[in-house]
Amino acid sequence: MYVKALCFILLFVVAGTVTYASPLSYTSRASSNDTIAAELEKMKNFTTLLTLANISNLTSTLENASLSVTLFAPTNDGISSTLKAANISESAVVKNSTLVKMILEYHIVPQPLKTSSFSTVNSFKTLEGSNITVTKNNTGIFVNGFEIIKKNVKADKSIIQVIDGLLIPPGIVV
Ligand SMILES: *[C@@H]1O[C@H](CO)[C@@H](O)[C@H](O)[C@H]1NC(C)=O
Ligand SMILES: *[C@@H]1O[C@H](CO)[C@@H](O)[C@H](O)[C@H]1NC(C)=O
Ligand SMILES: *[C@@H]1O[C@H](CO)[C@@H](O)[C@H](O)[C@H]1NC(C)=O
Ligand SMILES: *[C@@H]1O[C@H](CO)[C@@H](O)[C@H](O)[C@H]1NC(C)=O
Ligand SMILES: *[C@@H]1O[C@H](CO)[C@@H](O)[C@H](O)[C@H]1NC(C)=O
Ligand SMILES: *[C@@H]1O[C@H](CO)[C@@H](O)[C@H](O)[C@H]1NC(C)=O
Ligand SMILES: *[C@@H]1O[C@H](CO)[C@@H](O)[C@H](O)[C@H]1NC(C)=O
Ligand SMILES: *[C@@H]1O[C@H](CO)[C@@H](O)[C@H](O)[C@H]1NC(C)=O
Ligand SMILES: *[C@@H]1O[C@H](CO)[C@@H](O)[C@H](O)[C@H]1NC(C)=O
């Protein structure tokens, strides 16, 4: 109990958000334009994702201009609605940085993917190790059922596909 409370307090300190009510508030930081992190900052609506990246030490990955990946980027609203639907509290997620890292790595495929390359059903191995499924129909393109709502955002050698929900790797217990 004491250890859990301490971890929680430490996370607030690490994220630099001592005075906010939400455990997922975000402070903007300078990074060069065109990196994934910079594009996410410019597009807005990705402060939760950027905070999760910070918690799990993935910020430097998202700032790495040499990287050539696809990030399926959930919006703030997408993350909160997924957690709400699964009855998972934000604080339960953020206090386990290993868990946050697994979840975020499940959003990254180690090759740049444009939507034009997708067929009706596609399977891609993520950095987390499990596959995501991308499907295409008359309505749109979906990643594990969540729609790609903004397509093919370039970030250096990488591509961002914006999705409206958080992808939870199979077998993860929160
Ligand atoms: C990320 O975490 C570092 C400490 O590890 C902190 O200095 C920085 O402000 C945080 N950045 C954001 C955007 O939360
Ligand atoms: C990134 O580009 C925006 C405008 O496109 C500009 O306002 C901002 O200062 C740039 N940031 C950096 C770190 O170069
Ligand atoms: C982005 O944020 C703005 C204001 O915070 C909101 O009105 C808009 O619906 C959001 N868009 C998405 C795609 O989440
Ligand atoms: C950036 O990504 C490249 C390509 O994956 C990798 O070789 C390099 O070590 C990374 N740099 C950092 C600082 O992580
Ligand atoms: C959500 O979780 C809380 C706490 O674990 C529990 O009390 C509540 O019944 C759950 N609600 C649903 C809809 O599962
Ligand atoms: C992130 O880095 C901090 C400090 O180096 C470390 O204590 C923590 O375990 C790391 N978290 C992950 C998920 O790698
Ligand atoms: C953190 O999450 C990972 C992955 O779900 C799990 O294996 C680990 O036991 C969790 N750690 C704590 C302290 O709950
Ligand atoms: C995972 O996706 C890769 C392609 O990236 C494919 O070769 C492999 O068969 C898939 N695995 C499963 C279990 O679907
Ligand atoms: C397209 O796929 C999505 C996600 O699986 C589904 O919700 C939607 O109903 C499908 N649309 C059609 C026209 O089949």
| Tens digits of residue pLDDT in 19-42 | 334 667 777 765 667 899 999 999
Q: Which ligand is nearest to the CA of 140?
A: 9
Pairing of strands 70-74, 158-163: parallel
Of 10-14, 57-61, 149-153, the poorest mean pLDDT is in 10-14
Hey, whose CA ends up nearest to atom 11 of ligand 2? 33
Pairing of strands 108-109, 121-125: unpaired
**96-119 per-residue burial string, b: 16 or more CB within 10 A, e: under 16:** bbebbbbbbbbbbbeebbeeeebe
96 three-class SS? coil
User: How confident is the model over 90-101, as pLDDT tens digits?
Assistant: 888 999 999 999
User: What is the mean predicted confidence (pLDDT) over 130-153?
Assistant: 97
Is the model's pLDDT at 10 over the cut of 60? no
Token couple for 28: 């903007």
Chain-centre distance of CA 15, in angstroms? 16
Cα gap 54→100, rounded to integer Å: 10
As a whole-number percent, the residues of the chain with pLDDT over 90 amount to 75
As a whole-number percent, the residues of the chain with pLDDT over 70 amount to 83
pLDDT at res. 33? 73
CA of 122 to the centre of ligand 9 (A): 15
50 three-class SS? helix
Q: In this structure, are residues 147 and 163 in contact, taking their beta carbons and an 8 Å threshold?
A: yes
The model carries a pTM of 0.82
Kindly state if the Cβ of 111 falls inside 6 Å of ligand 8: no
